[in-house]
Structures are given as structure tokens and as C-alpha cells.
Amino acid sequence: MVEWIDGLPSGVIGYRATGKITTDEYEALMAPIYELLEQGGPVNLLFVMDDAFSGLELGAVWDDLKAGASVGLKHRAAWRRMAVVTNKDWIRNGAAAFAWLAPGELRVFDLDDEDGAIAWLAEA
């Protein structure tokens, strides 16, 4: 399940994920990001994955790969910062290995430092 995070600083979009993200949920969470990218950004994204987060459905993974190859790269300069907030090692390791592929800056924060992640995003 994915929930929109309200009350974030101006210019920051945020989501909280728990369990497995379905293809429909993925499409719904990406729609405002695509819209902002098409408008020229900038995009500062907060993505909080709690301890119950278990990944994406296969269809959502496919959508993510297609989106990265089209919209995300087309508007690469509009991406400013992305903060991933999690305690999951597999996400931390993946972010460390592939951060150089991400548009903009990418940082991983512990779940207990969500406020630090928000402050970092608001600086951009």
C-alpha cells in the first residue's frame, strides 16, 4: 500500500509504502511526479519504506523500467533530490550500488531520521 504524505515543504513530494506496491498503486504515485517533470520540475522526492515494505509487483517493476527509460531520462535535469527512508538492507545496498544511475542526488536515511530526510530535500 502507498500513502501520500501531507504537510511536506513546498517542492517536496512524498509517499509512505508498506507491504507490496501494486501496479495500480505505482501508476497512481508516479502520476504527480510525471506531471511535475513535464512542467520542468524541479522534483524532490521523499519515499519512506517501513519495515513491512516488501517490494513492487512485477507489473510495477516493468512500469518503473519503462518510465525510467522515457520520462525520467527525458527530464533528467528536473530531478533534484530523492530521499529514501528505510531500515531495509536490501534497499540500502541497491541504492548504494545504483545511485550513480539515479537522476539528481540520492540519499538513504534511517526510518528514525525521516525529519532529516525532509530537511535535506527542502534545502534543494
pLDDT tens-place string over residues 32-56: 888 887 787 788 999 999 988 988 7
For the chain, domains (ranges, CATH) are 2-123 (3.30.750)
Quote helix, strand, coil % in the chain, to nearest 5. Answer: 50, 25, 25
The Cβ of residue 78 has, within 10 Å, a number of other Cβ atoms equal to 19
- Over residues 67-96, the mean pLDDT reads 76
What per-residue confidence (pLDDT) applies to 49? 94
Using DSSP, state whether 12 is helix, strand or coil. Answer: strand
* pTM, 2 dp: 0.82
What per-residue confidence (pLDDT) applies to 36? 82
Asked if residue 10 has pLDDT above 70, the reply is yes
The Cβ of residue 53 has, within 10 Å, a number of other Cβ atoms equal to 21
Lowest pLDDT segment from 52-61, 63-72, 79-88, 114-123: 63-72
In the chain, the DSSP E strands lie at 2-4, 12-17, 20-21, 43-49, 55-56, 79-85, 105-109
- Over residues 85-109, the mean pLDDT reads 85
* Angle ∠(51,36,86) on CA atoms, nearest 5: 15
